[in-house]
Amino acid sequence: MLKNLSLLGLLLPGLALGLAPSPANAQTEAESPDAHPTFFIRGFGTLGLARSSSDQAEFVRDLSQPRGIKGGDWSARIDSVLGAQANWQATPEVELVGQIVSRYRYDESRTPEVMWAFAKWEPDTRVALRAGRIGADFMMLADSRLVGYSYLAARPSTDFFGPLFFSHFDGADASLTLPLGKGLVRGKVFAGKTQEKASDVSGIWDTSGSPVRGLILDYSTGSWQFRASAARIRFSNDFPLAPLPDLLRSFGASGAAGELSTAGKASRFYSLGVVYDQGPAQVQGMLNEIHHESGLFQNSRGGYLLAGYRVGALTPYAGVSWWKSTSKNLATGLPDVPFASLNQTFDSVATASAADQTTYTLGARWDVYPNVALKLQWDAVRGSSRSVFPVRAEQAGWNGRTNVISAVVDFVF
């Protein structure tokens, strides 16, 4: 019977019903008493309230968000999420997975979107091949950024994951896991095309159809896990900057206009990560480096360190993270007289992707029920006034500093 329904058709009614079924009663009864259930509907969500003290800029979770929070007002905008997933083990080797998520989007709506919709084939327990819409695993843990219940802090570090506005792409990946020494080594390659949009004050940037590819290498042994990854995206479209590029060209500054184009140019993401997880203690540290061929974006480096220790149902944690970009020192080459205002506009565009900040985090996670966690977190963002990329709608007087308090309830069902 299940075979006649599409995965999406199975998911949509679930979302409409508010996803009441728990995993236990969502399982279909297996025909044979010894076969295990093969169909699951599960869900996750976060109800998050946060306030950011600065009046001069809006704090966002990552750069996919067009607006953020500011001025000390409590808001549920940036962290609240609801998602549902269906898994169907069609045969022992083939599984179909679909996930729908409603979150704050580039167009300021919460229209549900298909996050994943793929078929997974495991011809052998060591090999997995997936095709369809899959997670953009650009950096360690990047493919589960929306499932608050699965991580320790209130949200993934903005300094680290903020620049990554991709959640998924349409394509395929292949992974191989093998024992090596006392541990396990896993390699994964992926390739496909993005289907996502981002937005900024200047408008909506459609990155659909941009080819992506990457590889990941993991090694885990005992309490340690190490990861290195590299990914590349070649943008299909230009960032909406009209009429600036045409103006520059008309005055002979085609070089500067060309610097601002993104179409056909690649951005590369590199990351290294280590996780130590031993009983009640867990520590994560990650580093990234992002290179953009386009002059529109400054290259950047970021990192974070997060440590927590569980005491009963309570896990206090502390962390530090940073995001720093390097200016490409671009100029139009045109004299200030009579091009002062054109030069100024160009400079403001070329420095709009500057980041220079460090964030200190303190918080606690309380596992209230086996499927519900409550988190309270304080983030002190300490940056320079040039650090405008990580925030939205910055105004004159933005000094790069804000304090963010977050109270979130994460759940899975």
Task: Summarize as ranges the residues that interact with other proteins (CB under 8 A).
Answer: 24, 33-34, 36-37, 42, 44, 83, 85, 87, 89, 92, 95, 97, 99, 116, 118, 120, 124-126, 130, 134-135, 137, 141, 143-144, 146-147, 149-151, 177, 179, 182, 184, 220, 222, 278-280, 310, 313, 367, 370-371, 373, 412
Name the residue type at position 207. Answer: T
Pick between residue 24 and residue 396 the one whose CB is nearest to other proteins.
24
Smallest separation (angstroms) from other proteins to the CB of 285 = 17
Collapsing DSSP states into helix, strand and coil, what is residue 14? helix
Smallest separation (angstroms) from other proteins to the CB of 105 = 19
Beta bridge partners of 200: 203
Smallest separation (angstroms) from other proteins to the CB of 8 = 15
Collapsing DSSP states into helix, strand and coil, what is residue 2? helix
Degrees to nearest 5, angle at CA 223 with 221 and 226: 60
Q: Which residue is listed with tokens 């996050």?
A: 115
**What are the DSSP calls for 226-237, one per residue?**
EEEEEEEEE-SS
Pick between residue 119 and residue 305 the one whose CB is nearest to other proteins.
119
Residue 282, Cβ neighbours under 10 Å: how many?
A: 18
Q: Which residue is listed with tokens 């580093």?
A: 287
Give the chain's length.
413
Smallest separation (angstroms) from other proteins to the CB of 32 = 9
Smallest separation (angstroms) from other proteins to the CB of 372 = 9
Per-residue buried b or exposed e for 172-200, using 16+ beta carbons within 10 Å of the residue's own CB: bbebebeeeeeeebbebebbbbbbbbbbb
Pick between residue 144 and residue 385 the one whose CB is nearest to other proteins.
144
Euclidean distance between CA atoms 413 and 82, whole angstroms: 11
Smallest separation (angstroms) from other proteins to the CB of 31 = 14
Pick between residue 44 and residue 323 the one whose CB is nearest to other proteins.
44
CA atoms within 13 A on the CB side of 344: 6
Smallest separation (angstroms) from other proteins to the CB of 121 = 13
Q: Which residue is listed with tokens 């300021």?
A: 108
Collapsing DSSP states into helix, strand and coil, what is residue 250? helix
Pick between residue 212 and residue 381 the one whose CB is nearest to other proteins.
212
Pick between residue 189 and residue 204 the one whose CB is nearest to other proteins.
189
Tokens of 127: 């090999």
Smallest separation (angstroms) from other proteins to the CB of 157 = 16
Pick between residue 85 and residue 300 the one whose CB is nearest to other proteins.
85
Could you tell me the CA-to-CA distances from 371 to 134, 310, 385, 409 in Å, in that order? 25, 16, 41, 10
Helix (H) or strand (E) holding 259: helix 254-260
Pick between residue 214 and residue 400 the one whose CB is nearest to other proteins.
214
Smallest separation (angstroms) from other proteins to the CB of 220 = 7
Helix (H) or strand (E) holding 267: strand 266-278
Pick between residue 188 and residue 392 the one whose CB is nearest to other proteins.
188
